[in-house]
Each structure stands twice: as C-alpha cells, then as structure tokens.
Amino acid sequence: MHAIRDRFLLLSLIAGLLAGLPFLPGFPGDFVFDDFPNIVNNPAIQVTQLDADSLAKAALSPQPSGSLRTLPTLSFAVDYWRAGGTDPATFKATNVLLHCLTTCAMAWLFRSLLLVAGIPARRARWLAPSLALAWAIHPLQVSSVLYVVQRIQTLATFFVVLALLAYVQARVAQVEGRSGRTGMLMALLAWALAMGCKEDSILFPAYALALELTLLRFRAANASTGSRLRKAYLAASVTAATAYFLLILPHFWQWGAYPNRDFSTLERLLTQARVLCMYLWQIVLPLPSHMPFYYDWLQPSRGLLQPWTTLPSMLLLAGLLALALAQRVRHPLLALGILWFLSAHLVASNVIGLELAFEHRNHFGLAGGVLAIGSLLAQTVRGLRLQQNVGIAIAVPLLAVLAGATLMRAWSWQDRLSLAHTVTRYAPLSARAWVQLCAGEYETGGGAVKDNPRIDAAIDACTKGTFAAPGSLNNPALLVVLKTLKGSVSQADWGLFQRRLETVHMSLDNCRSPQILSYNHRQGVAVDKRRLLQALDTMARRCEQKPFEAASIGYFVMNDLAEPDSAIPYFVRAIRSAPPNDPFPGQLASELRGIGRPDLAGQIERIASARRMASSPGGF
C-alpha cells in the first residue's frame, strides 16, 4: 500500500508539472481587461517594501474587485514587489505555479473520491492524476490562468479543493469509526481561506452536500454521527433556502433592467440556461474557436422561446439534474460530477446583476465536468469489457488533444494584438474585442504621435467594430480620436458618436466611452472641445456617477479644457452626493479663487452650506 501511495505521489507531482507547460507561450502577453483597474492602475498593490505595514495597507485598502478578496490582493502586492512594477510575466508565473499546485491537490481529491467509490487503489493511482491533468490542461483554463486578475478565482478554487479533500478524509475516518475532528477543522480553515479570495466560495457546503448525496450518503460507524449529519445538512439547507427567498431574492430582483445592464432579473435567469449549456458544450467539445474570451455579444433571453434555444436549454439542465439524482447510488461519480458542475454556478448564474458569461466561472465546475465525463468513459470501457491498457490508450491521446488545444489557445495570448485578432475572429460581434484590436494597433504604433504608422489599421478595426456592435460607444469614440489624430475626422463621425450616446443603453462600458476622448485629449490629441463638452454633458445626464467620478470630470473640464463655468455642474453633483462634512467643497473653493473666479467659489460654498444645513438635525 505504501508503494502504491508513493507512486501516486510521484504521478501527482508529474501531473502538476505537466499542468503548467501548455500555458508558457502566453507569458509574453500583456495585461487585459479587468487586469488594469485591479492591478496596473491599482495603487493599493504598489508595494516597494515587503514589510508588515505595506502588506496591511494593501490588504485593507478598498479594492475594485471586492472587499472580501484580501488574499489575492496580497499576492498581487508581492508580485509587484518581486517585479519592481507591473511586469505581466511575473504575475502570470505566479498564476501558473498556483495552477500546478491546484492540479496536485485535485489529483489527491480525485484519488480520495475514487477510493470511496470502490475503485481499487492500483487503478486510482493513475486514474486520479489523469483526471486532474485533464482538468488542468483543458482549454477553458487559459482565461483563468493567463488572465491575471482571475487569480481571485483560481486561489479560491485551490482552497476549496483542499477543504473538500480534508472533508472527505474526515468523513472516511468517521465511517471507519474514528472522530474525523482534525479533518473537519482543516476543512473549515481551508474554507475560511477560500472565502478570503472570492465570494462564491460560500458554495463549499453545496459541494459537500453533493458528496453526501452520492458517495458518502451520510454513513458513519456511529449511528448518531450519521443522524447529526443529516439533521445539520437539512437545517443548513432550510436556512439557506429561507435566506435566499426572503433576503437575497427580494434584494436583487429587478423587474426592469439592472443598473448599467440591458436585462432584468427574469431575463438573466432565462439566459443563464443557455449560458450553462454553452459552458457544457465548451467542456465536451473543447475547441479554441468555442472560447472567444469576450461574451459581450451574447444577447439576453427575452422569453422562453426568445431565442428558441432558451426552453430546450432549461429542459436539458433539468434532465441532467434528474439524471444525477436518479443515478446517485448506482453511478455516484457521474452524479457527483453533474451536481458539482451545477452547484458551481449557483452564485454567478443567479439573481445578482453580473455580466452574463465569463469562462473563469467554470474553474471549479470544470472538475465536475471532468469527473462526469471520466465516469462515462470508464463505464463504456467496462461495458465493452476492454482491458485496462485499452483505457490508458484512450486516455493518452485525449489528454494530448486537450494539451494541444490549450497550447494553441495560450499561443494567441503571446501579445495583445495576437489575442485581439483571435477574439475578433471567434467573436466578430464583440465590441470589446474590436476595441482591444483597435487600441492595440494604435498603441503598438506609438499612441498619440504624429504619423503613427499603424493609424490606418487602427481606424479599420474601429470602423469594423462600430458597425459590428451598434450598441457600443467605445469603438466610435476611439474612431473619433484616431481620425482626429490623422486629420480626417468629419462631422459624420462626431454625429454618429453623439447619436449613439443619446440613444443606446448605457452599460458600464458605454458610460466610460467619453473618457476615451478626455484621456486622449490629455495625451495631446486635439479633440474638438465643443463636441467633447457635449459628450461629457450627455454622459452625465444618462449615467449614474459617484462623487469622485463627477469631481474628476469637473477638474478635467476646469483645468484641461479651461472651462470653469462648464465644470461647475459636475462639482455640484459631486458635492450633493458626498458626505455633508467632506472637505472637498472648501478645497475646491480655494482653487477657484486661485484661478480668479471668486464668483464660482462663492457658489460652491453656498451649495455646500445648504447641503450641511439640510443634513443636520432639524435642518430644512
């Protein structure tokens, strides 16, 4: 038995090592999308000294990604210190190392599950690392490993896997007549660490319940232990259901569209049936062309048959759930895999107004998919009465295909332009993909410089994006900038942008589009001031702004555009939304006097005074 375990340890380490290899071509690539607010432009992680004070400041500073994601933020700070800045390869190396460690842990978890299911230790010795490797080198993992900010997700998965491994070991001990107390405590500790990475780690009890319903079935040598387990899970399930229907559902439900979204809660829930089926398709047929990275092109379901695939998707998911429940005793690994996949999406595919789809949401759910598919393949091999060597002969080419597909996908992440060209090919209706290609061409040519050699390629990409995604504003905004730099901007270009600004749904991306104009104006592009002021005014009217955002626009208008009168409405909006005793109005009044506008300073002071009086006890 010790020899088998030692060999398994070696195989799990080999699987962990192999897990990182297909991702190496993506190391030279740049940061993308949400990497910028969370890492590149996040001053909280810019640690120059690795001491307790610096790390505490990084951990306690408000984070764009969420306040409960302390551990990933600390790891970003350490990477910043190691690299002496925001070097993408340094951050990606940490992601790949974490992926290798998670693969090793996943192999041990799979081995524990196989042994509980009655698989002989000699077979589990190679089956478990194979399943873990299949999970690790699946092409879906590329956007979890090379998309740096998703360390938030991958680190959470690492601790969830450790928690599940400890839980299984504790329950096996209870089945054998031991207490299992140490394993349970380790499971709780790992779960707490997972919760310090990402909020959807709260689903650990659902994964554990799936284990009980399939493999463990609440067994214990002590009958009272099994009874307590049943009662505990029943009480937890009732509590969770009550909290969901009485607190969570009413809080997040929107009959109209969510703020900055173009779908309601009901439409989001309908759409998620299609999204989950899309994820299943990506898992079962893992072609890189099925995984475009950006999903802003995905249209919400407006009804059961709008589009017609909505209802069939719901029926398919219901059928999978029924299959899992029906086969949980006869084929527990198949049932467990299905239940883990569905459970992994209980947060992201629910009533919270998140974006409709992201590939990294499958990071743990993919383990369920691999387990279910592996169970089906094993049943097929047994049903055909094939030798074990035949099963290995089937597994090796399947793993090679997965590795090849992942290698191809990682290769497209080698630089910003390569990724942008790939994504626009696979998702030609994605506004984000075209913006990435357009901005990539622009910045590769040197940005806001005279005679930018890639200006025509950038204009071509932005033009295609403008018409491919008629609900988007970023492409036409960037198109105005590029044509202004080239000297070919027309009234029609401005008119198209302004008409869209007045009429399209103001998503988060669209609300940021005028900032493309203001940023490039600061870089020296002679953007038409009158048109820019008009765009900022329309954005302020149609988008909800935080005090800081409104004040930032006000300062841009006052200082960069030299239009203090036009800046006052933004400052007023910031003051009225800020706390009554905020020092900002006084500082602003001093600045206005400093530029020779005491009239505007007095206006700001009167508004701030009225704000304080209205908020004081007994105020009007």
Domain segments of the chain as ranges: 2-31+86-411, 428-544, 564-620
The reported pLDDT for the residue numbered 619 is 40
Tokens 């090919």 appear where?
Answer: 425
DSSP 199: G
Q: Are 340 and 118 in contact (CB under 8 A)?
A: no
pLDDT attached to residue 620: 37
Residue the block writes with tokens 């340890």: 9
CB 406 within 8 A of CB 139: yes
Q: 3-state class of 525 per DSSP?
A: coil
* pLDDT computed for residue 547 by the predictor: 80
DSSP symbol at 246: I
Q: Report residue 8 as tokens.
A: 């398994």
For residue 22, give the DSSP letter.
Answer: G
SS3 per residue for 391-457? HHHHHHHHHHHHHHHHHHHHHCCCCHHHHHHHHHHHCCCCHHHHHHHHHHHHHHCCCCCCCCCCHHH
pLDDT for the residue 130: 94
- Name, in order, each residue with C-beta under 8 angstroms of 315's C-beta and a sequence gap of 6 or more: none
Q: Distance between CA 399 and CA 126 in Å, rounded?
A: 13
Whole-angstrom Cα distance, residue 134 to residue 363? 13
CA distance 329 to 296: 41
Only one residue has tokens 């400890």, namely 166
Give the pLDDT score at 342: 98
Where are the strands (E) in 180-260, listed by range? Answer: none
| Burial class, 89, CB count within 10 angstroms (exposed 0-12 / middle 13-18 / buried 19+) | exposed
The pLDDT score that the predictor gives to residue 57 is 83
Q: In the prediction, which pLDDT does 20 show?
A: 96
Give the integer Cα–Cα distance in Å for 435 and 457: 12
pLDDT of residue 71: 92
Q: Is the dihedral of CA 360, 361, 364, 366 positive or negative?
A: negative
CA distances for 26 relative to 32, 286, 420, angstroms: 12, 18, 13
If one looks up domain 428-544 in CATH, what number appears?
1.25.40
The amino acid present at 402, given as its one-letter code, is L
Cβ atoms of 132 and 106 within 8 Å: the answer is yes
Q: Report residues of the chain scoring pLDDT below 50.
A: 618-620
Answer yes or no: are the C-beta atoms of 215 and 117 closer than 8 Å: yes
The pLDDT value given to residue 387: 66
Question: How many whole angstroms separate alpha carbon 486 and alpha carbon 448?
Answer: 10
| Burial of residue 591 (number of CB atoms within 10 Å: 0-12, 13-18, 19+) | middle
Distance CA 260, CA 354 (A): 10
Here the tokens at position 546 are: 């935080």
Who's near 374: CB < 8 A, 6+ residues apart? 127, 130, 131, 134, 333, 337
In single-letter form, the type of residue at position 429 comes to L
Question: In whole angstroms, what is the distance from residue 159 CA to residue 163 CA?
Answer: 6
Q: What tokens does 580 get?
A: 């009554």
